């Protein structure tokens, strides 16, 4: 390991809490991506190997893309079952990202362990392990397994590598470090199939999702160096309840003229989900954070109440202010 990228070290208090736990509740964030799901499943495997009885939870269903992962079928949308003695938040930058699975009234007396790599994390736990230079929360889980003396096996390695592959878009983002590549090599040696993970998570889409892409791409607009698109409820009629046009925001950022991309997804109850991507030298995390969200300088998101046109106006004003300040 190079001097600039030393191994990550989980807090001793967090390790002690996991050793003492009997029935931990593990929570992945709303609209789970590959890192959230991979980290959730990997942590569940680690704790199960330690003799624990973890509950794996996420308010939203696991996308079909990730249902090939070991134990994906065990993820529940209800965290109320069982005598829970500790809660672990995975890949969430603030408590709202856990959704309704985290019952603040019921769990307020329990330890809340936060494991996350987002630079905008507000450290909302009783114990917080935040590593903003990690390429993914899953990278942190690799070191958690080491610290808890859990050897890698193909299932554990597959879950961790899935989180790293998806959050780096196949090891192509600026946070792909020599340390990340070293870990990926170890995971492959333990049995994770990089080619299969990449094919299933980055290169495979349903026909219905491709249809939604077509609708969304038809709305693409370029305003200065900001490219945007809309994903409305009307577009998704008769598309098997697909909500998010996964991958579109990264795709439209490929336009030569664009430095920032944003996709506005219309949700029920008058809310708009904003997904941001940016080229190096820009910072969309600050804009997402100002709107109640979070993320990384080059990839962030938020959910805002309001009509689509109003939210678009808000977002463009903040993006243009941010550009002026650079």
**212: burial class by Cβ within 10 Å (0-12, 13-18, 19+)?**
buried
User: How does pLDDT run across 46-104, given as a tens digit for each residue?
Assistant: 999 999 999 999 999 999 999 999 999 999 998 877 799 999 999 999 999 999 999 98
The CATH number for 271's domain is: 3.10.310.30
Q: Are 196 and 252 within one domain?
A: no
Mean pLDDT, the chain, whole residue set = 95
**Domain ranges, residue 103:** 12-201
84 close to 55: Cβ distance less than 8 angstroms:
yes
104 close to 85: Cβ distance less than 8 angstroms:
no
CB atoms within 10 A of CB 265: 26
Last residue in a domain, options 140, 175, 201: 201
Please give the pLDDT value at position 325. 63
Which helix (H) or strand (E) element contains residue 128?
Answer: strand 127-130
Q: Are 124 and 218 within one domain?
A: no
Q: What is the mean pLDDT of each run of 10 residues along the chain (326 residues)?
A: 82 98 97 97 99 97 94 92 92 95 92 97 98 98 99 99 97 94 99 98 92 96 97 89 87 97 95 95 94 93 96 96 73
As for how many domains the chain has, the answer is 2
User: How does pLDDT run across 298-318, given as a tens digit for each residue?
Assistant: 999 999 999 999 999 999 999
Q: Are 194 and 214 within one domain?
A: no
Q: Are 235 and 315 within one domain?
A: yes
**182: burial class by Cβ within 10 Å (0-12, 13-18, 19+)?**
middle
Residue 277 located in a structural domain: yes
């Amino acid at each position: 390991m190079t001097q600039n990228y030393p191994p990550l070290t989980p807090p001793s208090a967090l390790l002690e809490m996991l050793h003492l736990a009997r029935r931990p509740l593990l929570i992945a964030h709303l609209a789970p991506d590959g890192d959230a799901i991979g980290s959730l499943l990997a942590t569940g495997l680690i704790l199960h190997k330690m003799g624990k009885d973890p509950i794996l939870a996420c308010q939203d269903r696991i996308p079909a893309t990730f249902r090939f992962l070991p134990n994906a079928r065990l993820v529940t949308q209800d965290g109320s079952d069982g005598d829970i003695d500790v809660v672990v938040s995975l890949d969430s930058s603030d408590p709202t990202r856990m959704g309704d699975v985290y019952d603040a009234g019921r769990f307020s007396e329990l330890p809340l362990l936060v494991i996350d790599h987002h630079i905008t994390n507000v450290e909302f736990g009783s114990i917080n392990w935040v590593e903003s230079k990690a390429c993914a929360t899953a990278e942190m889980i690799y070191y958690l397994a080491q610290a808890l003396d859990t050897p890698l096996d193909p299932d554990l390695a597959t879950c961790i590598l899935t989180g790293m592959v998806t959050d780096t878009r196949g090891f192509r983002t600026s946070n792909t470090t020599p340390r990340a590549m070293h870990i990926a090599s170890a995971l492959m040696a333990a049995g994770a199939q990089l080619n299969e993970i990449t094919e299933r998570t980055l290169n495979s889409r349903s026909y219905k999702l491709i249809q939604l892409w077509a609708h969304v791409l038809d709305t693409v607009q370029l305003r200065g160096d900001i490219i945007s698109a809309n994903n409305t409820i009307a577009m998704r009629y008769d598309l098997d309840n697909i909500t998010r046009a996964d991958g579109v925001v990264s795709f439209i950022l490929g336009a030569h003229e664009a430095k920032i991309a944003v996709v506005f997804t219309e949700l029920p109850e008058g809310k708009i989900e904003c997904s941001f991507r940016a080229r190096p030298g820009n910072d969309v995390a600050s804009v997402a954070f100002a709107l109640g969200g979070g993320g990384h300088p080059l990839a962030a998101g938020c959910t805002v109440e309001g009509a689509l046109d109003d939210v678009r106006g808000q977002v463009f004003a903040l993006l243009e202010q941010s550009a002026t300040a650079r």
